[in-house]
Every structure is written in C-alpha cells, then in structure tokens.
Structure 1
Amino acid sequence: MKQSLKKEAILNSAETLFYQHGFHAVGVKSILDHAGVAPMTMYYHFKSKEEVIKEILMQRDERYLQVIEDTINKEEGINLYIESLFKAHMNWIETKGSNGCLFLRAKQEYEGVNDEITALSKAHKQSFLNKIENDLELFHAPKSLGMQITITLEGLTAMIQITELNKVKEAAAELMKNLHVSNDETK
C-alpha cells in the first residue's frame, strides 16, 4: 500500500533531522516545518513523535537489509561473500549513514524511556547478525565468524563519525585484502 505524500514527507523530514541532531533534540515543530505540513496532518498519520520514530526505524531496517540482500554475492565463495558484504555496508554508510548508526542512537536515547523503540533497535542488530550467520551456513563457516564480521562492520560505522570517509574506506579495503577465509576454516 502506497503511503500518502504528506506522510512520506513527515517520515523523510523526521529521519533527516533525527539523524543530524538526535531524537530528543528535534521537536515536532521542527519536523512539521521541515516537512511543510500542518500539525493536524501529522497527528492524522501518527499519534506521537515516538510513533514517527518507530515507523522510521522499521522502514530503515527494511531498506538496509534489502540493500544488503540485493548486493551481496552468495554464489562465488565465502571470501567474495564477505567482500561484497563489506562493500554493500560501506556504500550504505557513504550514501545514507555517515553520521553513525541511527538504531544505536535510538537505543541510547530511549533506553529506559520507551521499550518499543529500544526493542526495535535491538531487533535490527539481531536480525542483521542472524542474516550473516544464516548466509555463512551456506559456506559451512563457524557461527562465530558472523559475530566477528558484524563487530567489524559496526566498528566501521562508528569510525565514520570521527574519521574522514576516505580513510575509513581505505581501512576497510585494506582489511578486505588481509581477510581471507581458507577452505579449512569452513569445514
């Protein structure tokens, strides 16, 4: 079902503002001004700012996991799988996420305040780890490799906040050169 253009404008504006400034720093008025909609319009679509946040997190989760799924290479061995996963993640960071992880920010700001937002944030991280672990089963790789890859990708996401994008991309490329999983490790 296609959502209304005004609802989409609210979600896009809110996601941009939350990502730039944080959740608590952005008020409903800022979202409305940025989206160019009236308060009645927002409250027609959402009961509260927290409802907007939950919708944004659910949509972002779906978009990120779809980008990863559409870009990874599961056909040509574990090393090309891992390389394609790193490239897909770095491309996401470059195009949609150079200010860190919106899910971790939501968890940090809403831990103990809103259990649903916190749960969505945790669920995203868990579903990403599960996806990698399930993919690695195709190669008979140890489950622990999934956690290692996830930790590394999370580290790249964190480093982009304090280091130039090109330096992080270079480090990721160097890491890919040095990372090689032998056939012995996948048995």
Structure 2
Amino acid sequence: MSKKKADLLAVAENLFYKYGFNGVGLKQIIQEANVATMTMYNHFSSKERLVEEVLIQREKRYWSYLDSSVESNETQPFIMAVKGHCNWLKDYSYQGDMFLRAIEDYSGVDADIENVARGHKQRLLNYLETIAEKSGLRNGHDLAIRYTLLMEGTTSMTTLIGVDKATDHALDIAALFVSEATKA
C-alpha cells in the first residue's frame, strides 16, 4: 500500500471515529491527509469506498489483536479472546463501535459498507463458536453467544462507564462464564 493511501486511510479512520461518518467530508480528509484531491480519487472512487476500506483495514487490525491474544494462551481461549477485545478497546475503540455506527449510518443506503460491518459482527460469533467447538465445553453455541454479547456489551459500556471499568467487568464475567461451562 502506498504511503499516501495509508495516510488517507489513517486520517479518515481517525476523523470518522471522532466525528462520525456523516460528520466528516472528503475535503477535510484530503486537507488533513495533506494529499491532492486527485490522489484521493486515484485510490477511492467515492467517500463510500473510502469508508468501506477504512472498515476493512480496521477489521484486519482487530482480528490481529484477537488472534494474537488467543494464540498466546490456547488453554484459555475464551478468556484470551475477551482480553484481546479489551486490549483493542483500550488502544483503539474506547469511544464506541465504528462497525455498529457504520450499520446505523449505511443500513439500506450502501450495501457494501453495511455488509462489511455486519460481516464483522457475524465473524466474531463464528470465531467464538469455533473456539467453543474446539474446547469441547457443554452448550458451546450458547457460550459463544454469551461471549459475543459480553464483548459487544463491553464495547457499548466504554462510553458510559469508561474503558477501564468496562474491561475489568468484562474479564470478571468471562471467568464466570467459563467456570459455569466447566461445571459437571
């Protein structure tokens, strides 16, 4: 990826996260990224394609966090998934969920953006279902849904109680879920 494209994506992601997708125009992105208008359009045919690519790149970073965390201690995959998610929230997503915002702003308006955002949510559930299957815990599907709800709820709660409290509570709840699932 060229430096200018990377700069556009980084600036756009930061602005979209701070001000929302509808609160930021291409002119502001172009100006803050310090690129020519033509450079923007050489990489992205429209603001919507820029939003789509921002979400795709953000999702790649998210999965890198989650995978690294789970792989660091494979004996506790659910706990490590929650830890990875909590670390992501602390580092990148302490003011809410960009994917949920994209669903809200683009549902019925831009199917490509909506599909990227909804796909991210579905991939999280699928990922946790795979962990449940591999772990052999009883009620694996239900456990995956609980963890998905926990992680999504933690993201939402960062805006209400702060990222540190939300993630501390999430880790406590994650341990309770595992304890319950391993009881005979």
Name the TM-score, length of structure 1 as normaliser.
Answer: 0.90
Deviations 1:4-48 (A, max 9, x none): 100100000000000011001100011011111110110111100
Deviations 1:100-145 (A, max 9, x none): 1111100100111111111111111111110110111111232111
**1:48 is aligned to 2:54:** no
Which of 104, 116, 135 is the aligned partner of 1:139? Answer: 135
Per the alignment, residue 114 of structure 1 pairs with: 110
Per the alignment, residue 98 of structure 2 pairs with: 102
Deviation at 1:177, TM superposition (A): 4.5
Q: 1:58-137 maps to which residues of 2 (within 5 A)?
A: 58-73=56-71, 75-76=74-75, 80-137=76-133
Q: What amino acid is aligned across from residue 12 of structure 1 in structure 2?
A: A
Q: Compared with structure 1, are the counterparts of its residues 171 and 126 closer, same or farther at alpha carbon in structure 2 (3 Å cutoff)?
A: same
Deviation at 1:170, TM superposition (A): 2.7
Deviation at 1:85, TM superposition (A): 1.2
Per the alignment, residue 20 of structure 1 pairs with: 18
What runs of 5+ residues in structure 2 fail to find an aligned partner? none
Per the alignment, residue 153 of structure 1 pairs with: 151
Q: What amino acid is aligned across from residue 23 of structure 1 in structure 2?
A: F
Q: Which moved more, 1:98-107 or 1:170-179?
A: 170-179
What root-mean-square deviation, in Å, do the aligned CA atoms of Structure 1 and Structure 2 show? 1.5
Deviation at 1:183, TM superposition (A): 3.5
Q: Compared with structure 1, are the counterparts of its residues 177 and 70 closer, same or farther at alpha carbon in structure 2 (3 Å cutoff)?
A: closer
| Structure 2 contact 85–151 (Cα < 8 Å) conserved | yes
| Structure 1 contact 101–158 (Cα < 8 Å) conserved | yes
Q: Distance in 2 between matches of 1:140 and 1:178?
A: 17
Which of 9, 28, 31 is the aligned partner of 1:30? Answer: 28
Segments of 4+ moved more than 3 angstroms: 176-179, 181-185
Q: Distance in 1 between matches of 2:180 and 2:158?
A: 26
Question: SS at the partner of 2:160?
Answer: coil
How many residues were matched structurally? 180
Question: SS at the partner of 1:121?
Answer: helix
Per the alignment, residue 3 of structure 2 pairs with: 5
Deviations 1:67-99 (A, max 9, x none): 1111115632xxx22211111110000001011
